[in-house]
Chain A
C-alpha cells in the first residue's frame, strides 16, 4: 500500500518476526529431534518418531524421538552416574554452571522465543517479553541458591535423580521452573517435555552441551505418556515433579503412592478474578486481558472466572467488550497481535465444545467481530456472562481464551463464590481499599493471590496450588525445599525405636477387688466427650496384659463427626499466633500439674521405670512449650521480587489435619505430632496409639481445663488403619499425617489422590521421638502450613 493511503487509513499493517534462524536451527538438526542422554544425542530405542507441527499453520516443524522405557532407563542410569560428581563439585561449582546457562539463554534469547512461538503458537511478544526473560531470571536466581546452599540449607541434602514432566503451555519456562532448582540443590535430572512442544528443550540441551555441563546431569527423553509413565515408575527416581492436568496428576499420585518418591504436582485451575465496586475499572479490564487473553488463555492460573460486584457489573462488562474489540488474532510471529493459535486442533475442539455447553446451560455468549485467521487453531476472545456457580463453565477448566462471569453482592459472598471450586491455584483481587484487599486475600483458597494485578511470576516467589490444583511450590525458598531432604530422614529406622511392651493379654478379666467407680474413656469430639457411634469398645491393657479399661472403638461416623467439628472450629485458625501460644502454654501448665497421674499411667501402660516415664513426660511438656514458642516465630516473610510490590509469603494453616499418631510412642508421639499442627493454626482429628489410647483420653480432660476451644483437637480412638482409611478418603480435610505401616502409607497416598489432600507418611519407617530432629522441629512446622504468596503492588 502507498504511504499516502496509509496516511489516511492509519492501519497497523503486520510486523512479522523472521523465522529464518529458527528454521536454520531445525535444518541443522535435519528436522529430527533426538533424546539427550548422558551428554549425547541418542536415537530412540524403539526407532519410532512422531511429528510436531506449527499449530498456527499446521506445517511440520520436526520429527521427534518417541521415547520408551528403554530410553528412560538409559537416561535415569546416566543421571544416576552423574549424581556423585554433581554433588561433589559443591554449591559454588553448580552455581557457575547455572549462571552460564542463564547467560547463554540471554545470548540466544531471540532464537528461543521464535522457536517457542513456532512450536506452541503463542505470540512472539509474549515469548520474547515474558517467557524467555523469566527463564533467564530463573537460572540466575537459582545459581544463587546453589551458591548459598551450604549456609542456608546446612541440614539438607539432594534427593538424587529427579524425573520431571512438563506441559506445552510454557515449554521452556516450565523447564526452567523445574530444572533450575533441581540442579542447584545437587540433583540430576531426566526431563520429559510435552509431546506438542519439544523443540526448546532440545535447544536448551544444546546449551548444556555448549557450556560443558557434566554429562548426565541433565537428560531429555522426548515422547508421550509412555515415556512419562516409565519415568514416574522408575525405581531410581527419587522425586517426580509434574505440571499438567489434575486428571494426570491424580494418576501420578497413585502411581507413586507408597514408594517414598517425593512428589510435586502443579495442576489445573479455575482461578477467580474478583472485582469490587471501588476498583480502577479500566485497570481491571486491562488486568483481564493479562489474565485470560494471555497465552490464548492456556494458562493454569488464568483468571478465567470473573466475579464482579453487582453494582458495577454492567459497566465492567461493557468496558470488557469494548476492550475485546481491540484484540487482534493472528500469526504468532506477527509483533502486532494479541492472541495467537491454540496449541493443537484437539484443544480447539475442546474449547469449542465447552463453550457450546456453556451456551446450552444458559450462558450469554459474546465475541467481538474480529478476523479469525484460517489454517491454524485460532479461537476468538470470548466473554460468557450469567454463568452461575452450578454451570459447567464455572467449574471446569476451559484452557482457552474464554472468560466466564457472574456477580456477587458483598465481600463475604465474593469469598464464598471464589472458593466454591475444587481448584485453588491463584486468585486476583481488584479494589482500591487496602482493608478489603488484605481481608479477602487470606480467605481465598489459592496458592497465589494477586492484588490489583495478575499473572505475575518470579523465581523468588513460590507458585503452586491449594486443593486439587496440586501441592508443592516452585520458586523461592518454598520451591527449594521440594528438591532437598533433611539428613535426619535418612536416619529413620526400619524397626520401632520406642518399643511397645510385650505381653500376653490376661484371660481372666474379673476384678479381684470388686467393681471400682467406673471412669469411662470416651471419644473427644467438638470439645465434648461422646460415646462411639458403633457402641463398641476395645479392651485396654496395661504393660502386663491386664485389662484396665474399655476404650471406645471409633468408626467412620465418628471420624465424620470429628471432621465436622474440626471444620467448624475455624476460630482457631484465625486467632492470633500469640493467642494460640497462650493456650498451648496453659495446656502445658495444666498437664504439668497432673504429672504424677500421667507418669503413673505411662508406667502402667509401658512398663517403664518411674524415672524413665518421668523423663518422657517432661519431654512432652517441653515439646508443648516448644510449639507454643514457635506459634508466633515460624512466621511469614516477604520475597524480593523484581518490581515495586510486596510479595508476601504468608504461612497459613492447612485447615483440618488428620493425624494417625505413632503406635509405639504413647503420649510423646501424640504431643509431637498434634502440637506443631495446632501451633500453626490447624484443627486436628487425632487417632492416637491404640495401646496408649488411655493417655489420649486422659489428655482430653486437660484440654477441657485449658481453654482449648471445642473442635480444635478431636480424638477418635480405635483401629488406626481402619480410621486412617476413612480419613484418607474424606474429601473435606486438607492434610493427613500417618505414622504406621508401609502398606498403610501406600493406602493413604493412593486414597488422598482424589482430593489432593497433603499427606505426610512414614512408609513404615520409624522416628526416634526422643530425638531433637526426628521428633520435633521445622520439618513438622513446614508440613503444617501452606505458603500463599500475595502480590501487593504499591505506589500512588
Chain B
C-alpha cells in the first residue's frame, strides 16, 4: 500500500483515466517506502488464478489469438544475424498458418505479433524487414542483460537505438540501486532514460529474479513508474528465475495503485519462461481480474517470449482440426 498522497500528487489525480503516456511523478519515497508484500498470500492468490477462470472452445481460440497479438517476438542471442532476424520478422507479420486463420474466421483480422524485440545491432535489419507492417521494433538496451556499464554509455545506447529506428526501448535497471536501497539513484536513472527515449516507449526491466524479495519488486515497480516508465517488465529472460505469477501479481497491483493515484495507465510485460499456451491464458486472466480488459491490448500488455508462439500455433490447429498438432507443421520464425 502506498502512503498518503502528498498534495502535488493529489493534483495529478485530477487527470484520472486520461489516455496518453505516463509522465511520471516527482520522486517521493513516502509513496512506496511503507509497501509490504506478503509472499505467502501472494502465492496463494497466484495459485488460484489459473483455476478460478477457465476459457474453453471458441473463447479459448480467441484468447490464444489475442495472446499472439501481445507477443514481443524476441531473439536475443550472441549468434543473431540479419538472416535470422529477417526470418523472425516474417514470422511476426504472419504468425499463424493461413489455413488455420481462415478456419477461425480471422484471415482479415490483420493478426501480427505486437513487436519484434532485438539487440541494438539488429534494429535496422528489423525495421527494414517490418516496413509497412506497422509492427514496431523494440530494442533491449543499457548494457542488457546485466546493465554493468557506465550510465553515459547506457544513455548513449538508448539514443543510438532510437536513432536506428527502435520505437520501444527495453532498459534494464541497475539492480545495485535496489539492493542497496538507493531509490533516488534508480529514479534519476529511469527519468534519464525516459528523456533519452524521446517519443520511443520505455519499458523498464526489473530483473525481478535478482531483487531478492517481492517487497523490493513492488518498490522498484513504483520507482520505475514514478520515473516515467511506459511499461514495467519482469525480466531479461537471462536471470535464473524470470516471469512468475506471484511477481506478476505484485507488479500488476502496483500498476493498479499507481493508476488509482495518478490516473496514468502503465503497461505490463512478463518476460522469460512463458512458453505454454495455458500459461498465457492464465496471464491474460490475471490482467483481466486484477486490472481490466484494457490490459489485454498491446498498448498496455506484452508477452516477452520466443517459444510461446509455437505452442499457441499447435493449440490453434488442434482447435480447428480436433487432432493434436506437431511443431513441424508450423512455419518457424
Contacts and interface: CB of A to CB of B under 8 A. Distances in A.
Interface string A432-470: 100000000000000000001100000000000000000
B39 interface: yes
Contact of B55 (A15, A279, A284, A453): A15
A312 B106 CA distance: 48
A794 B40 contact: yes
A336 B53 contact: yes
B33 to A, nearest CB: 12
B39 A796 contact: yes
B66 A4 contact: no
A207 interface: no
A4 B105 contact: yes
B323 to A, nearest CB: 18
B40 A10 contact: no
A645 interface: yes
B84 interface: no
B37 to A, nearest CB: 5
Nearest to B319: A3
B65 A283 contact: no
Contacts of A282: 1, 253
A542 interface: no
Interface in B16-75: 34, 36-45, 48, 51-59, 61-63, 65-66
A586 B63 CA distance: 75
Interface majority SS on A: helix, strand, loop or mixed? loop
Contacts of A125: 51-52
A10 B289 contact: no
A286 to B, nearest CB: 5
B41 A12 contact: no
A432 B48 CA distance: 22
A793 interface: yes
A11 interface: yes
Q: How large is the interface on B (under 10, 10 to 19, 20 to 34, 35 or more residues)?
A: 35 or more
A12 B40 contact: no
B133 interface: no
A432 B38 contact: yes
A11 B34 CA distance: 37
Contacts of B44: 286, 290, 453
Nearest to A289: B45
Given A12-B59, A335-B54, A7 B66 contact: yes
Interface in A553-582: none
Interface string A6-46: 11001111110000000000000000000000000000000
A10 B38 CA distance: 31
A740 interface: no
B253 A279 contact: no
Contact of A13 (B39, B45, B56, B215): B56
B38 A283 contact: yes
A3 B62 CA distance: 5
Nearest to B249: A282
Given A15-B54, A280-B1, A453-B44, A795 B39 contact: yes
B292 to A, nearest CB: 9
A794 B38 CA distance: 9
A280 B45 CA distance: 13
Choose among B40, B44, B53, B106 the residue with the greatest number of A CB atoms under 10 Å from its CB.
B40
A10 B62 contact: yes
Interface of B: 1, 34, 36-45, 48, 51-59, 61-63, 65-66, 104-106, 109, 213-215, 253, 284-285, 288-289, 293, 296
4 nearest A-B pairs in the assembled complex, by CB-CB distance: A6-B62, A283-B41, A793-B40, A13-B59
Given A3-B65, A7-B62, 17 more contacts: A1-B58, A2-B58, A4-B105, A5-B62, A6-B58, A7-B109, A10-B66, A129-B48, A278-B34, A312-B1, A326-B289, A335-B53, A453-B44, A644-B40, A793-B40, A793-B41, A795-B40
